[in-house]
Structure 1
Amino acid sequence: MRELLEAVADGHLSPSEAEAELRGYATNDAGRFDAARKQRRGIPEAILAEGKTPAQVVALAETALETTDRALLTRTDDEQLDALQTALENSFPNATLERWGTSVRVVTPEFDQPSLDATVGVVTAGTVDGPVADEAELLPRDAGATIDRVEDVGVAALDRTLDQVDRFRAADVLIVAAGREGALPTVIAGLVDTPVIAVPVSSGYGFGGDGEAALAGLLQSCTVLSVVNIDAGFVAGAQATLIAQAIDGARDSSP
């Protein structure tokens, strides 16, 4: 305790860093950031930008960088991203910002990038499923897994599904995003011995077009797979990351 207080007093540790050390989280005007989640849960906290003001997004991202040297954000919009980039120029000028879709990753030079000996396949039935797949990539990318993105292989033209089977089978875990009736994850799961995490997407129209038809179909899948909620790309990515980390650990410990 005294060492922490002395570190804060002499400027080597910020109050937020000290609070994170003591409580596992750091508090600011936008809320509390769970700085210890990676150590406790195996995956870091990400900031859901949807529904937050640009100022709140900036405050939480800066706290994340201050306490963990990395900030992960999902479902950002252009206004939030502009505010974040402007703020980083002043508070963390040496940080690196990566963006794919609406997902954002910011790391400082002090961040120790992990590497996993595991491949996460991220598969989409169609272009409309892309944003959900982008969100699913965030955590496995951050964890250092290899990402194999396979796009637009929906079952309306089954040949385009079947000609990618070798890639599906080469992955250690698969995230498969599909809307409408949600058939693609079920078909792929019947072709591989790889864990499949299905993400129903809120695409389509008419009855069940808000993702409910896809969710219902996947919950009734005859082939064995896991299903997350509608559009829950982040949850699928988190589950895939935990599996990839376990596989990497098993490979690392094998004789």
Structure 2
Amino acid sequence: MNQENLKNILNQVAKGSLSIENAQKQLTHISFENIDFAQIDHHRSLRKGFPEVIFGQGKTSEQIIGIMEKMIIHEDIILVTRLKQEKAQKIISAFQGADYFEDAKFLWLKKNEPKITGIGKILVISAGTSDIPVAKEAFLTAQAMGNEIESIFDVGVAGIHRLFAHQEKIINAAVIIVVAGMEGALPSVVAGMVKAPVIAVPTSIGYGTSFGGMTALLGMLNSCSSNIAVVNIDNGFGAGFMASSINHVSAAG
């Protein structure tokens, strides 16, 4: 239940075109809805400005479909993250119009295209091609949340001249997400070039001593660039959500 839907219901009641009883039925689950295996937070759109996002890992396709069936009544968009292709195919069969992005393991179901409500442009940068799946998860999340967004892929420090070729685009971004594995150096470089907030995303890409992304994570946390914040390993969704939150600060109220 988002702000627009709530206002619409209240306006209909005020005009007399919707009875109090029917409005009450529509608002029965405005807080949350218990469907045995999940307690769906329908209030999240009102509270946080965006619906609850379904974490697909560990859930069956039937459970995800059950949650989506209840959510789509109230929401304009539903996101599912960490979703493997075999589960996605079952969900797509149940919901016409659902789109699956295999590289990002990401699915969305939209009633309408998201309106651009962010105040600036978000830029997503990946250090390597192998980091693109996590970068795409961040990209799609921020896009779904109503942001103008662009991407630059495979511009890591092993060939730093590739990054500098995009200097104008980097400087003009309102918020930047930088995704990197290995030693995780790229966010520090990018943050040193700009005044914008930089959200660093360590990935689990790398050889043995990368320790599944721990080396990149620690390197980013120890960055000497002061405009960096770091999310968890492979957490493209968290980076996209935070970037959108920052990009909507001046629009809040």
Fold agreement, TM-score > 0.5: yes
Hey, what does 1:236 align to over in structure 2? 239
State whether residues 51 and 75 of structure 2, in contact with CA within 8 Å, keep that contact through their aligned partners in structure 1.
no
What SS class does the counterpart of residue 167 from structure 1 fall into? helix
CA–CA separation in structure 2 for the residues paired with 1:138 and 1:26: 27
CA 198–6 in structure 1, closer or farther in 2 if over 3 Å, else same: same
Hey, what does 1:245 align to over in structure 2? 248
What SS class does the counterpart of residue 220 from structure 2 fall into? helix
Task: State which drifts further: 208-217 or 130-139.
Answer: 130-139
Q: What aligned pairs does 1:1-255 form with structure 2 within 5 A after superposition?
A: 6-7=21-22, 17-21=26-30, 24-89=31-96, 96-100=97-101, 101-108=104-111, 111=112, 113-116=114-117, 117-224=119-226, 225-247=228-250, 249=251
CA 113–20 in structure 1, closer or farther in 2 if over 3 Å, else same: farther
Gaps of 5+ in 1: 90-95
State whether residues 198 and 226 of structure 1, in contact with CA within 8 Å, keep that contact through their aligned partners in structure 2.
yes
CA 43–8 in structure 1, closer or farther in 2 if over 3 Å, else same: closer
Amino acid of the structure 2 residue aligned with 1:185? P
Between the two proteins, the alignment pairs up a number of residues equal to 233
CA 58–188 in structure 1, closer or farther in 2 if over 3 Å, else same: same
- State the identity as a percent: 36
Gaps of 5+ in 2: 1-17
Under a length normalisation based on structure 1, what TM-score does the superposition of the two structures give? Answer: 0.84
**1:145-202 deviation line (CA, Å, top 9, x unaligned):** 1111110000001101111121111111001000010000010000011110000001
Kindly state the Cα deviation for residue 105 of structure 1 after the two structures are TM-superposed. 1.3
CA–CA separation in structure 2 for the residues paired with 1:37 and 1:4: 25
What SS class does the counterpart of residue 64 from structure 2 fall into? helix
Under a length normalisation based on structure 2, what TM-score does the superposition of the two structures give? Answer: 0.84
**How much is the aligned-residue C-alpha RMSD, in angstroms?**
2.3
CA–CA separation in structure 2 for the residues paired with 1:181 and 1:4: 61
Kindly state the Cα deviation for residue 57 of structure 1 after the two structures are TM-superposed. 1.1
Kindly state the Cα deviation for residue 143 of structure 1 after the two structures are TM-superposed. 2.0
What SS class does the counterpart of residue 86 from structure 2 fall into? helix
CA–CA separation in structure 2 for the residues paired with 1:34 and 1:168: 37
Kindly state the Cα deviation for residue 127 of structure 1 after the two structures are TM-superposed. 1.2
**1:3-48 deviation line (CA, Å, top 9, x unaligned):** 8883289xxx5xxx54322xx2222243012122122123321100
